[in-house]
């Protein structure tokens, strides 16, 4: 990141606040104690120890956070404003607020710390700033209420598992789709939590809250679990194959909401422009394709559903910031209701992030009042994050496409051997969760096949959006036809809902169907049999109807030690 750009962003915030850049940060401390021993009493945040908390201290701390300037042990105590025993981004945010308010808290440095002689390598004062900084355009308008400086992640998550096994994950078939957010390795997300002059949030979270909600660690006791954070949800679902990282920002748009209702790109570019110079956007290109992985702009619920219902797609922007373009782009009005109520926010946008990784909607677009792609209510096999419910885990087909199985976790019926073959399906909500594929001809993950898994109402399946729903506890099966189509402009699943090859309702070929959907979509348990007598257990014919006998018969065996025994026989 270029430091001059950082300075420009900070000075822009000063212009907004006071109209006078230097005076805004040159307040005189009130009630300054008299006759204090040298190096004994300080104000929190007074990094250069001049008894004034001002812009020089903001810049000094920021240079430290960026690794451009060291600090002494004494300065680490002075800079630890929130008293969490380290100087970090949260202290920087508090320091900015202290400077703007002119209210500084004094503390006494412990006597044993006053003897420290090591001084910082560079002293920053408001006088030196006047000499060294470039002039700032006074027309810069930054209406962000809070900003943060993203730091590079300290943890690298790759497609190679690091705990239970050293076995690698399968290559992600969804890479064939033109998408922006990588489904394996480190995926980067920028969040702009935006309101408008005429459309505000009922509850406005702090930047720290936004950061925790989006990228916080796992917390099974959180009331929003399993949607306690986007990162925690994806870590569990992907078995560590994908790790979501990023930074959240607060911003108030320049114009009223109606100015952006039909022009989301206008708001997208405005957000990028507002923070250009404060952050380095190139760090959000996790897969190195020259574009930021994904950008989320969330607006208040009051913005309305007609224009701001959550949706995602390629930005289409040709603009570049820090030499990277803008990749996939999400907008929506799924807001954070309170500090402890934000499940709809995380679950809605995790569905949209599924689109950014290349997955389509599984629900129906033109089917009267029933848009659910997978039907059924109680004890259902039909709950899936990419369906209309959008409040449970990804199913086995999604995980297969995203590359969230290790090689040994994808079992396949061997048609060259034929006859009876036995497999084990382990709880999908565990690290060892696996799937079973019954192929149609030669195996192709982007072809036609049946795929089975063992699901339970645990972890990411533990809290559907409606209390009367319950994720099933047994074997779930899908009929898939995952052909890829290249229309000359982009690649997509040929039979996804809304494509030119589907009619958007229950008839014809669809990318994914739930086996047993017509019978109520319950899961299968010990003693039950899956064969041609069940809906969805057939291949498509030339008229796009499910009529062709698969020849497969599956018998659900015993459930023991968290795994089902599955016996498969193919008669043709």
Distance CA 162, CA 341 (A): 33
**Nearest-CA neighbor of 174 among 346, 285, 328?**
328
pTM for this one?
0.73
Residue 383 contacts residue 389 (beta carbons within 8 Å): yes
* 3-state helix/strand/coil string of 244-307: EEEEEEEEECCCCHHHCCCCHHHHHHHHHHHHECCECHHHHCCCCCCEEEEEEEECCHHHCHHH
Q: Give the relative orientation of helices 230-238 and 343-356 as an angle to the nearest 10 degrees.
A: 50
> DSSP H helical segments within 320-395, as ranges?
343-356
Residues 6+ positions from 356 with CB-CB distance below 8 Å: 179, 180, 181, 293, 294, 312, 327, 328, 330
**Bridge partners, residue 569, by sequence:** 420, 553
- As given in the structure block, the two tokens for residue 275 are 């923070």
C-alpha to C-alpha distances, 353 to 15, 318, 361, nearest whole angstrom:
36, 21, 11
Of 527, 549, 525, residue with least CA distance to 539: 549
Question: Residue 235: beta bridge partners?
Answer: none
Element (H, E) at 324: strand 324-332
Q: Is residue 472 within 8 Å of residue 515, measured between CB atoms?
A: no
Domain ranges of the chain: 3-132, 173-356, 396-570
Q: Residue 371 and residue 364: Cα distance in Å, rounded?
A: 5
The two structure tokens encoding residue 491:
């690649």
Contact 81, 95 (CB under 8 A): yes
In CATH, which of 1.10.1330.10, 2.40.30.10, 3.40.50.300, 3.50.30.10 is domain 3-132? 1.10.1330.10
- Give the domain 173-356 fold: Collagenase (Catalytic Domain) (3.40.390)
| CA-derived radius of gyration, the chain | 28
Rounded-to-integer distance, Cα 503 and Cα 364, Å: 9
Q: What are the tokens at 410?
A: 């994808």
Q: Which of 515, 481, 485, 489 is nearest to 499 (CA)?
A: 485
Rounded CA gap, 307 and 504, in Å?
A: 22
Written as tens digits, the pLDDT of the chain (572 aa) is 333 333 333 333 332 333 332 223 333 333 444 444 444 567 888 888 877 888 788 888 877 887 777 888 888 888 888 887 888 877 787 888 777 777 777 666 654 444 444 444 444 444 444 433 333 332 333 343 333 333 333 333 333 344 445 689 999 999 998 789 999 999 999 999 999 999 999 999 999 999 999 999 999 999 999 999 999 999 999 999 999 999 999 999 999 999 999 999 999 999 999 999 888 999 999 999 999 999 999 999 999 999 999 999 999 899 999 999 999 999 999 999 999 999 999 999 999 999 999 999 998 887 666 677 887 655 588 889 999 877 899 999 999 999 999 999 999 999 999 999 999 999 999 999 999 999 999 999 999 999 999 999 999 999 876 666 778 899 999 999 999 999 888 899 999 988 889 876 778 999 999 999 888 888 999 999 999 999 999 999 999 999 999 999 999 999 999 999 999 999 87
The Cα-based distances of 393 to 228, 383, 450, 463, 493 in angstroms read: 13, 8, 19, 10, 21
Angle of CA points 266, 270, 272, to nearest 5°: 120
Q: Are 450 and 437 in contact (CB under 8 A)?
A: yes
**What is the distance between the alpha carbons of residues 540 and 510, in angstroms, rounded to a whole number?**
10
Token pair recorded at residue 552: 């497969």
Task: Identify the helix (H) or strand (E) that includes residue 214.
Answer: helix 207-215
Mean pLDDT over all residues of the chain? 82
Is 481:211 a contact under the CB 8 Å cutoff? no
Whether the Cβ atoms of residue 452 and residue 476 lie closer than 8 Å to each other: yes
């Amino acid at each position: 990141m270029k430091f001059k750009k950082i300075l420009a962003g900070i000075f822009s915030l000063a212009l907004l606040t006071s109209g006078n850049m230097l005076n805004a940060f040159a307040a005189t401390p009130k009630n300054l104690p008299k006759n204090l021993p040298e190096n004994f009493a300080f104000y929190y945040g007074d990094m250069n120890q001049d008894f004034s908390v001002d812009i020089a201290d903001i810049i000094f701390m920021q240079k430290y956070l960026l690794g451009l300037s060291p600090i002494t042990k004494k300065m680490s105590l002075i800079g630890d404003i929130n008293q969490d025993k380290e100087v970090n981004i949260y202290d920087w945010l508090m320091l900015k607020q202290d400077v703007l308010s002119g209210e500084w808290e004094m503390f006494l440095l412990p006597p044993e710390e006053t003897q420290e002689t090591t001084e910082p390598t560079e002293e920053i004062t408001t006088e030196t700033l006047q000499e060294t900084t470039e002039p700032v355009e006074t027309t810069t308008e930054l209406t962000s209420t809070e900003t943060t400086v993203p730091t590079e992640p300290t943890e690298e998550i790759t497609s190679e598992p690091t705990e239970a096994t050293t076995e690698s994950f399968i290559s992600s078939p969804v890479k064939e789709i033109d998408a922006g957010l990588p489904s394996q390795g480190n995926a980067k997300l920028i969040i702009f939590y935006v309101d408008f002059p005429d459309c505000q949030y009922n509850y406005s979270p702090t930047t720290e809250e936004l950061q925790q909600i989006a990228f916080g660690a796992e917390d099974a006791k959180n009331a929003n679990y399993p949607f306690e954070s986007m990162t925690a949800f994806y870590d569990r679902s992907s078995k560590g194959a994908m790790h979501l990282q990023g930074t959240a920002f607060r911003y108030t748009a320049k114009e009223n909401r109606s100015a952006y209702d039909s022009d989301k790109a206008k708001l997208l570019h405005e957000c990028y422009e507002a923070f250009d110079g404060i952050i380095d956007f190139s760090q959000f290109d996790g897969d190195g394709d020259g574009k930021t992985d994904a950008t989320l702009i969330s607006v208040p619920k009051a913005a309305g559903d007609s224009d701001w219902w959550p949706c995602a797609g390629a930005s289409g922007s040709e603009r570049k910031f820090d030499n990277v373009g803008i990749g996939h782009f999400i907008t929506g009005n799924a807001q954070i209701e309170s500090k402890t109520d934000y499940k709809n926010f995380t679950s809605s946008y995790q569905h949209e992030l599924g689109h950014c990784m290349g997955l389509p909607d599984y629900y129906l677009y033109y089917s009267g009042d029933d848009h659910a792609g997978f039907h059924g209510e109680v004890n259902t096999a039909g709950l899936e994050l990419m369906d209309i419910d959008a409040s449970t885990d990804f199913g086995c087909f999604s995980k297969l496409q995203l590359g969230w199985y290790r090689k040994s976790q994808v079992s396949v019926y061997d048609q060259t051997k034929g006859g009876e073959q036995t497999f084990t399906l382990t709880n999908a909500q565990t690290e060892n969760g696996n799937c079973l594929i019954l192929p149609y001809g030669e195996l192709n993950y982007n072809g036609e096949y049946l795929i089975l898994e063992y699901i339970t109402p645990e972890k990411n399946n533990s809290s559907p959006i409606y209390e009367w729903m319950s994720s099933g506890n047994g074997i779930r099966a899908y009929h898939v036809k995952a052909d890829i189509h290249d229309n000359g402009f982009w690649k997509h699943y040929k039979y996804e809902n809304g494509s030119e090859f589907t009619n958007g309702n229950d008839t014809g070929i669809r990318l994914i169907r739930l086996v047993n959907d017509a019978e109520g979509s319950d899961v299968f348990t010990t003693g039950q049999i899956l064969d041609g007598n069940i809906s969805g257990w057939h291949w498509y014919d030339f008229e796009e109807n499910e009529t062709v006998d698969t020849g497969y018969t599956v018998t659900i065996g015993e459930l023991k030690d968290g795994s089902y025994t599955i016996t498969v026989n193919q008669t043709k």
